Amino acid sequence: MRNWNYQRIFCGLLLCASTASASDEPKVRLIATGGTIASGRAGSLSATELKEHNPELNDIAELSVEDYLKIGSSRMTPELQFGIAEHVNELFRDEPDLSGIVITHGTDSLEETAFLLDLLLESDRPVVFAAAMRPPHRSDTDAPRNLVNAVRLAAAEGAKGLGVLVTLNDEFHAARDVRKTHTLATNAFASPGLGPLGYFDGESIYLARRPARRLTLLVDSIEPRVALIRLFAGSDGSQVRAAVATGQRGIVLEVFGRGNVPPDVMDAVGDARAKNIAVVFTSRTGGGRVLLDDGAKRAGVVSGEDLDGLKARLVLVAALGTTSDPEKLRSYFRRLSGKLEE
């Protein structure tokens, strides 16, 4: 049983003025990119078909739809993710009366696309990612419920300022915190150590907390050449050297514990830094902050704080398009860590 202190985002209260007539309904855009949520027996469902299969959506918002991509999210790339972010920002600039945006997406890389978009989002209006662990043609599918919840959240006035959100299993999570933690369970998406931002109860939405650890980067380009390497017993630095040899401009190293790195690996890191390749340390444990020793600091390594490797990589993907200055990069990770200024 949840025991949080909830603030209620209830459409009957906060949106009562906007539901007085059909013309005053909140406007929501549904952008389809593929994934299990749109997986039909004969192929991927279009955005129009998703809307037609879920007529309840018409009672929540004035819903416009578009097909942006039709791919499994294991095929997602930083370039495609950046394109989604640019498209969302353009929609919000061009349509000031748009209440929010829903993006349907596969679960394989959902946490990555959502977080990159959160880093690049220019508007305070909500963007909600909807996904499913079980396809629509199964009797136990979670697809309709997740999509309806996403549209309801995107239409809610009280969702402004929450950033990019991810909803499954009657919960919604901050893009900065959410992870896929299971291969098939309907509660696969969680925010370890923090919990969801809130949850749905019928037509009501309850907010438990507001995301305090957000960063907005205004960039014209990204740098997709960022490697993610996990240390293991016997790591000798060869993977770091291979990343340098293949032209990577950034390396995120998931190190042991709180920041432990074997000497041979540190030698390879030093060589990478000598070539002005950005290097970020995160912990392979998946929880807790990384502390840098004096050698790593002298080499210009950046602490990823408590971000996991996937999220730390995306900070570099977004930031390296404009800067590789270690101090600037440190400021970004400090902002995302939530550290209070002294």
- What is the set of active-site residues? 36
Secondary structure element (H or E) that encloses residue 251, with its range: strand 250-255
Residue among 319, 245, 251, 255 nearest 282 (CA): 255
Distance CA 310, CA 321 (A): 18
Q: Check: CB of residue 173 under 8 Å from CB of residue 191.
A: yes
Q: Check: CB of residue 114 under 8 Å from CB of residue 164.
A: yes
The token pair that represents 161 in the structure block: 């300022």
SS3 of residue 97 by DSSP: coil
SS3 of residue 147 by DSSP: helix
CA torsion 181-185-191-193 (nearest 10°) is -80
